[in-house]
């Protein structure tokens, strides 16, 4: 699956490496690992030892796909995974190609 700066907000996130680069919760900043689950409001990141739940709308993430990385504001993906394709289109259009 090819990811780019626009499509990252509408594609599957489970399986991607991720890092929380900003968060209103100081304890969540810096969490990194592989996305193992996602709900409407939460992304679950496994660092190899423990799985941590990160609230989407209060965080900014860096997702890694191969050698490329993409910064995503959690509000852009604060939808159920199966609804994100249609609901996140407004963010898709605003992001630079």
Residue 51, in any domain of the structure: yes
Residue 35, in any domain of the structure: yes
**pLDDT value of residue 91:** 85
Q: Do 8 and 64 touch, CB atoms closer than 8 A?
A: no
**DSSP one-letter string for 51-94:** EEEEEGGGEEEEEEETTEEEEEEGGGG-S-TTTHHHHTHHHHHH
What is the token pair recorded at 88?
Answer: 């996140």
**pLDDT value of residue 68:** 93
- For 14, the domain range is 7-94
Tens digit of each residue's pLDDT (9 = 90 or more) over 40-59:
999 999 999 999 999 999 99
Residue 19, in any domain of the structure: yes
Residue 2, in any domain of the structure: no
Residue 1, in any domain of the structure: no
Q: Which residues of the chain have pLDDT under 70?
A: 1
Place of tokens 């100081």: 26
- Total domain count, the chain: 1
**pLDDT value of residue 1:** 61
**CATH number of the domain where residue 65 is located:** 2.30.30.210
Residue 15, in any domain of the structure: yes
DSSP class of 66: T
């Amino acid at each position: 699956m090819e990811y780019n700066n626009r499509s990252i907000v509408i594609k599957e996130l489970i399986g991607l490496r991720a890092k929380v680069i900003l968060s209103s919760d100081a304890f969540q900043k810096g969490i990194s690992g592989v996305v193992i689950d996602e709900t409407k409001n939460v992304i679950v990141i496994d660092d190899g030892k423990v799985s941590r739940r990160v609230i989407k709308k209060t965080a900014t993430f860096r997702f890694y796909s191969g050698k490329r990385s993409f910064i995503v504001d959690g509000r852009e993906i604060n939808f159920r995974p199966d609804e994100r394709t249609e609901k996140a289109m407004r963010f898709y259009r605003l992001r630079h190609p």
